[in-house]
Structure 1
Amino acid sequence: MQYRMTIIIPVYNEIDNLDRIYSTFTDYFSKSKTKSKVLFIDDGSTDNSFTKIAEICEGNPDFEYLKFKNNCGLSAAIKAGIDHIKTELIGYIDADLQTTPYDFDLLLAEIDNYQAVIGYRGKRKDTLNKKIQSVIANSIRRGLINDGIIDTGCPLKVIHTDVAKKIPFFKGMHRFIPALILLQNGKIKQLRVQHFERIAGKSKFNIFNRSLKALRDTFAYRWMRSRYINYTIEKSKIDS
């Protein structure tokens, strides 16, 4: 049975979460009707994350990895994953497992009718400070681009690979994946998914990269949207 989906998991100093990722995904793979595998993207970790990733992947075809030489950021990690994936579908989830891979099956049930199916977090289990940062960032984005996306920060997503490979990339792109799919006239379904407290490791986000950088990147997206090229070929004759 061939793999249908590859799930990108960016990793930056998440050594305390990797054993749990392995056990959770191994159990999920045994129960899901969709044949899937994990692609770790080690974003220049400075702890022992990569050693553990290599150990997990050794002799296990359900787990693969890419390792960056230096820390490049979340958008670069997602782009590298998309660039290297060959399965029909791409999944995405964060290494903190504040969302669960079991909810991928909810998204997969709808994916044949949409270019992407994305989650939005129901009862958020974040700290008050993190909730405030997220509200500010989402308010900025919705006010400036009005894309109709409920929770762009929710990491749980399933996207058709051919659609993902057409997404224009820039630093901060991870905040605008649904909006960038809409630029392709893609259809997106949003589904409520579970959310959990972070039980290991530390968040890499703060008020600066959640709000101030988000504001800057939103203006970059607005410029791109105003200049975006989109066309449909009706007929063609091209000699090979």
Structure 2
Amino acid sequence: MSDVPHLSVVVPVKNEGGNIAPLVAEIEAACAGLAFEVIYVDDGSTDGTPAALAAARAGRPWLRVLRHARSGGQSAAVRSGALAARGTIIATLDGDGQNDPAFIPILLDALEAAGPAAGLAQGQRRGRKDGRFKMLQSRIANGVRGRLLNDSTRDTGCGLKVFHRAVYLRLPYFDALHRFMPALVAREGFSVVHRDVVDRPRLTGVSNYGLFDRLWVGLLDLAGVWWLIRRKRADPRPEEIALPAGAPADQDVGC
């Protein structure tokens, strides 16, 4: 593997101690043959996550660990990983094991095949393994978001994403950025490609989200993103003014 990674895989986690070892092994297998690094961002875990990450790092020089002293949320963890990333392309997936890392190369290929006009390859879950109540919340939130933002994305909540780091760093940062990346990437003038991915059941641990996080707070964030999109203006393209013909290069042309 190259010393300089092309791909940085960012995995935000909080209290996922039981999921660390199997998911790290799956990411390693999925990214074999790529120039990659993996950055786990521990968002203030209070369980065995730090110890599990320390054990997983043995013999894996490409595995890096960042830690937040207190929890800042999923978007904050992704941002910390993106800022620390050395790769020009970033992949993200949830740390609970429900996202299959085997889809990382598929999304990477889709992004690169789309050319420089594309900023994001977004996974969209099929056959979700969440409970009925959680799926109902997501269906409502996705329906309202899709109608208001018209982002042509069925499932923005899927953690499997691959995107250009430079594009991500252009996005306005706020607490729920990860939920609205397709609309915000499009706001910056880049296209979004989509690929269906499988959803797997959580094998251990509990979700860090509840009804209030997923629905009501999401609606408030949605209003803010709608405002950002409405206020976006096309950036003017600067044109350098050449010196008049025959004028010496050091002539004082005033200001």
TM-score (norm 2): 0.87
Counterpart Cα distance in 1 of 2:22 and 2:79: 25
Q: Percent identity?
A: 30
Distance 2:72 2:92 in 1: 18
- Equivalent position of 2:201 in the other structure: 197
Residues of 2 paired with 1:87 and 1:183: CA distance?
A: 23
**Structure 2 counterparts to residues 2-151 of structure 1, below 5 A:** 2-30=4-32, 33-58=33-58, 60-112=60-112, 113=114, 114-151=118-155
Which residue, 207, 224, 231 being the options, matches 1:227?
A: 231
Give secondary structure in 2 for the equivalent of 1:212.
helix
Task: Supply the AA of the counterpart residue of 1:129.
Answer: F
Query: Aligned letter for 2:15?
Result: N
Q: Which amino acid aligns with 1:73?
A: G
Kindly state the Cα deviation for residue 125 of structure 1 after the two structures are TM-superposed: 1.5
More deviation, 208-217/60-69:
60-69
Structure 1 residue 137: Cα displacement: 1.3
In structure 2, C-alpha distance between the alignment counterparts of 1:182 and 1:125, rounded to whole Å: 29
> What's the offset of the Cα at 1:229?
4.8
Give the match's secondary structure for 2:194.
Answer: strand
Provide the rounded CA distance (Å) in 2 between the counterparts of 1:68 and 1:228.
32
- Alignment size in residue pairs: 236
* Higher-Rg member (1/2): 2
Q: Deviations over 1:157-184 (max 9, x none)?
A: 1001111111110111111011110110
Alignment deviations for residues 103-140 of structure 1 (CA, whole Å, 9 cap, x no partner): 11111112122211111011111111111111111122
Q: CA deviation at 1:83?
A: 1.5
Shift of 1:25: 1.9
The 2-side partners of 1:115 and 1:77 are apart by 20
AA aligned to 1:50 is P
Identify if the C-alpha distance between structure 1 residues 77 and 229 changes in structure 2 by more than 3 Å, giving closer, same or farther: farther
Greater shift in the superposed pair: 153-162 or 80-89: 80-89
**Structure 2 residues without counterparts, runs of 5 or longer:** 242-255
The partner residue of 1:214 within 212, 218, 234 is: 218
Do the aligned partners of 1:42 and 1:67 also contact (CA within 8 Å) in 2? yes
Retained in 2: the 8 A contact 1:133–1:206?
no
Whether contact under 8 Å (1:93, 1:156) holds in the other structure is: yes
Q: Please say which of residues 51-60 and 96-105 is displaced more in the overlay.
A: 51-60
In structure 1, distance between residues paired with 2:165 and 2:233: 20
Q: Specify which of 161, 164, 186 is matched with residue 160 of structure 1.
A: 164
Superposed CA offset, 1:35-87 (max 9, x none): 22210011000112112212322552221011001011111111111112121
Provide the rounded CA distance (Å) in 1 between the counterparts of 2:161 and 2:193. Answer: 10
RMSD: 1.7
Paired residue secondary structure (1:110) = helix
How far residue 145 of structure 1 moved from its aligned partner, in angstroms, is 1.6
Q: Which amino acid aligns with 1:107?
A: L
Distance 1:140 1:35, change over 3 A: same
| Counterpart-to-counterpart distance in 1, 2:203 and 2:60 | 26
TM-score (norm 1): 0.92
CA distance in 2, matches of 1:172, 1:216: 10
Displacement after TM superposition at 1:232 (Å): 5.1
Point out where structure 1 has 5 or more consecutive residues left out of the alignment. none
